[in-house]
Structure 1
Amino acid sequence: MHFESLIGMLIIGALAGWLSGKIMQGRGFGVIGNIIVGIVGAFLAGAIFPALGFAVGGGVLASVIHATIGAVILLFVIGLVRKAR
Structure 2
Amino acid sequence: MAFIASVLTFLLYAFIIVLIVRVLFSWVSPFPTNPVSRLAWAVTEPVLAPVRRRIPPVSGIDLSPLLVWLVAYFLIAALRNF
Using structure 1 for the length normalisation, give the TM-score. 0.35
Using structure 2 for the length normalisation, give the TM-score. 0.36
Higher relative contact order (CA 8 A, sep 6+): 2
